[in-house]
Each structure stands twice: as structure tokens, then as C-alpha cells.
């Protein structure tokens, strides 16, 4: 499908309203994946559609967990690991079970080889766990960006630590666990200098 045809026939609207034949739909997808303007059209329309749907959903569904709740869960894991993460955070009823002390697995990457070393295999699928690692100091670094990336290169979490923290132990807590799969923990200095440090790991 050509761009002019997509515009003339209101292809994005027909696509989102489910009015296309399978052939037209395939042709339009082939076009909009490579056309910034039509991709934008589809995305904007999909947002409208999603918003209309969530209007109803919001009336009937339980509220989503707030950032505060997730932070609360992170704090609990942090305390268990001996790390004062946060204080004076009120817990909600649905997280009451998480109040109780519990053991969480901690996996150390300190001796695991970064970039090419043996991949640690973490037996923690779906359960809370913590990774302990150290950031190799880099000259002129102002801070370090730490990311957790899945096999499809999707960034699951991003955080930063001050340059002074390099060489000290860091805990990365996963209060909700991770699904089984392959991941990597990546540390990059800012401003960019030498290549970052990457630990690939598998969650079983």
C-alpha cells in the first residue's frame, strides 16, 4: 500500500476499527511499519481506543498497585538483605504478607565473569531475589547507569549510582522476581568511556 492510498482511504482508522479485509490489513501493516507518519497515526488512534476501553475497565477493576506499594515491597527485601532502603512507609493490606520477615535468595556476581564469562544461572523464577555485584571504577565517570535488559533488549529497569559508589558492593533487588529467561545486568559509565560491564544471566 502506498502512503497516499493509506491517507485517502483513512487506512489507520479502518485498521483500528477492524474494517479491513485480511489482505488490506496485511498490506497496511507492511506499509505503516516502515512509514513514520502512518505508524504515528496508528499509535495515536490506538491510544484513543485504549483510553476508551480503560474508562470502563477503571470502573470495574481493582486499582493498580502504586509506585509506593512497589517501593514498599522493595524496602522489605532490602531490609532482609541488611540494607536500610526506606523507612516510615505505610503498607497496604494486600501487602501484609510481605511484612513478615522472609528469606530471599541473594546471588553474587562478584566472582562471575562479565562479558564472556560463565553465565550465572539463578534458580529464582517468579520469586523475589537479590543480586550482589560491584561496579568496576572507570576514570572520569560522573555516575554509572545500571540497567536490567531481557533477551529482546527490552530495558526492564534503569537506575543510576554516583561515581563514588564504584568499587563498593551494590544490591539489586527484584521484589517481584523475574520470569524464567535470559537477562543481562549492564553498567555504563557517564560520560561514556570504556566499554560497559555486562553480566549475562539466566533465571530458571
Partner 1 sequence: MELYSFDDDYVRRLREGDRWTEEHFHRYFNELLLIKLRSRLSSMQAIDDARQEVFVRVFRTLRSPEGVRDGRKLGSFVNSVCNNVLFESYRGREGREEAAAGAYDQSDIADDAVSAEDALVTGETKAQVQKVLDGLDSKDAKLLRSVFLEERDKNEICREYGVDRDYLRVLLHRAKERFRSAFLRRAEIVRMKPSDTETGKPSLRR
56-115 residues near partner 1, rule: CB under 8 A? 56-57, 67, 70-71, 73-74, 78, 83, 85
Instruction: Supply the DSSP string of 17-75, one letter for each residue.
Output: TT-S-HHHHHHHHHHHTT-HHHHHHHHHHHHHHHHHHHHHHHHHSPPPPPHHHHHHHHH
Q: Which is closer to partner 1, CB of 20 or CB of 112? A: 20
Residues 6 or more apart from 1 whose CB is under 8 A from it? 11, 24, 27, 28, 30, 31
Shortest Å, Cβ 111 to partner 1: 19
Q: Are 186 and 155 in contact (CB under 8 A)?
A: no
In angstroms, the first-to-last Cα distance of the chain is 44
Question: Is residue 2 at the binding interface for partner 1, with CB under 8 A as the rule?
Answer: no
Q: Which is closer to partner 1, CB of 70 or CB of 99? A: 70
Size of the site for partner 1 (CB under 8 A): 79
Of 137-156, binders to partner 1 (CB under 8 A) are 146-148, 150-156
Residues 6 or more apart from 191 whose CB is under 8 A from it? 140, 141, 142
Give the binding range for partner 1 (CB under 8 A) out of 48-56, 89-97, 101-109, 111-119.
48-56
Question: Is residue 120 at the binding interface for partner 1, with CB under 8 A as the rule?
Answer: no
| Residue from the set 68, 123, 157, 180 that interacts with partner 1 by CB under 8 A | 157
| Residue from the set 2, 3, 5, 13 that interacts with partner 1 by CB under 8 A | 13
Question: Is residue 176 at the binding interface for partner 1, with CB under 8 A as the rule?
Answer: yes
Amino acid at each position: 500500500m502506498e502512503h497516499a492510498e493509506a491517507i485517502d482511504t483513512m487506512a489507520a482508522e479502518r485498521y483500528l476499527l477492524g474494517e479491513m479485509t485480511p489482505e488490506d490489513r496485511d498490506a497496511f501493516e507492511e506499509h505503516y511499519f516502515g512509514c513514520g507518519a502512518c505508524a504515528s497515526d496508528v499509535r495515536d488512534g490506538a491510544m484513543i481506543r485504549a483510553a476508551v476501553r480503560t474508562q470502563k475497565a477503571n470502573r470495574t477493576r481493582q486499582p493498580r498497585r502504586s509506585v509506593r506499594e512497589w517501593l514498599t515491597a522493595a524496602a522489605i527485601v532490602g531490609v532482609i538483605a541488611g540494607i536500610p532502603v526506606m523507612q516510615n512507609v505505610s503498607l497496604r493490606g494486600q501487602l501484609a504478607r510481605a511484612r513478615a520477615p522472609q528469606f530471599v535468595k541473594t546471588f553474587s556476581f562478584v566472582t562471575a565473569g562479565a562479558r564472556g564469562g560463565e553465565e550465572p544461572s539463578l534458580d529464582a523464577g517468579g520469586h523475589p531475589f537479590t543480586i550482589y555485584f560491584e561496579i568496576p571504577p572507570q576514570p572520569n565517570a560522573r555516575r554509572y547507569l545500571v540497567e536490567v535488559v531481557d533477551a529482546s533488549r527490552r530495558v526492564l529497569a534503569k537506575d543510576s549510582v554516583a561515581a563514588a559508589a564504584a568499587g563498593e558492593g551494590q544490591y539489586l533487588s527484584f521484589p517481584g522476581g523475574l520470569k524464567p529467561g535470559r537477562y543481562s545486568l549492564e553498567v555504563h559509565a557517564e560520560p561514556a568511556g570504556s566499554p560497559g560491564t555486562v553480566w549475562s544471566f539466566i533465571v530458571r
